[in-house]
Amino acid sequence: MRNVSYRLISGTILAAASLLMACNAKAQLVASWQLNQASWSGATGEVLDVTGNHDGTAVGGAQTVYDTTFGQVGSFNGSGQYVSVGGSGSLAYNGARTIVAWVDPTSNMGFYGMPIVTGGATSAGDFFGLGGTGGSDSAYGSGAAYHLYVDSWYYGPSPISTIAVTPNQWNFVAITYSGGFFNSNSLNYYVNGAAAGSTAYQMYGYNTDTYTIGGNIIGGTSTAGSFDGMMHDVSIYDTALTPSQITALYNSTNTANTPEPGAFALLIGAAVSGTAAIRRKRNC
């Protein structure tokens, strides 16, 4: 057993949690933002990352609100509100990754898609979001509304997910990317723990501090400037999690499956292959 320090939801207290982990586990948590602070004021670093490495800043008046399912959650109005991630660190070019989040979008979907997480820079970035209602691009074309998509600036949008999220309720969404140059099934979608399609694709590598949660500040023509709705528990891993790992995360963070809603915020430690806790602090 190894003691691992996590930051409590207040952001000011450290708790020691003992998690059983294997040193050879491949899944490494890069950052996780619960978006559950009592309030945000726009102060630098107030949106806490449980690893302590990538605290973010609420922009444009983004705020937390009380939700009956998860408690405090991030709230965005679709008009320039998002969280700007801080810290440093990079993902290697063509590097594998997984992004997961709980999202509750409004039914006010526009022509362009809603951003969940974007990263990189203009002409060298990626968008992960929900498809919009109009246009000829697969990311926001006919039938794409509320389906997951990834849009890499140079390579264009990926095919949309086979499952759409439901507006005005919580949905667990995930993408996994295994790396490489358009390797077969390198990009996979998941909605509420279920596989929702895969495709060959290419994503950029970039510094973690270029990420925005619920916002798009790098431009492009597929994604609106801000998410419209609520978000919770946004996490990034440095490898493509397996379907069973995605299911474990969904079950661990779904309050319908946990006896103490919100307790997962720091202590998920979902076991994979019997021993490896895939959600953990760095260093083994």
Does residue 276 carry a pLDDT above 80?
Answer: no
DSSP state of 248: H
End-to-end CA distance of the chain: 11
pLDDT tier for residue 9 given thresholds of 50, 70 and 90: very low
* Average model confidence (pLDDT) across the chain: 77
pTM above 0.85, yes or no: no
Residue 220 pLDDT: 67
**What structural domains and CATH numbers belong to the chain?**
20-277 (2.60.120.200)
Q: Which amino acid is at 12?
A: T
> What SS3 state is found at 125?
strand
Residue 230 pLDDT: 98
Residue 244 pLDDT: 95
Residue 207 pLDDT: 82
Residue 224 pLDDT: 76
- 228 closest CA partner among 61, 90, 93, 110: 110
The average pLDDT across 3-26 equals 31
**pLDDT tens digit sequence for 45-89:** 999 999 999 999 999 999 999 999 999 999 999 999 999 998 877
The average pLDDT across 90-97 equals 72
The average pLDDT across 252-260 equals 64
Contact (Cβ atoms closer than 8 angstroms) between residue 57 and residue 48? no
The average pLDDT across 187-202 equals 91
Q: What's the angle, vertex CA 253, arms to CA 89 and CA 278, rounded to 5? A: 45
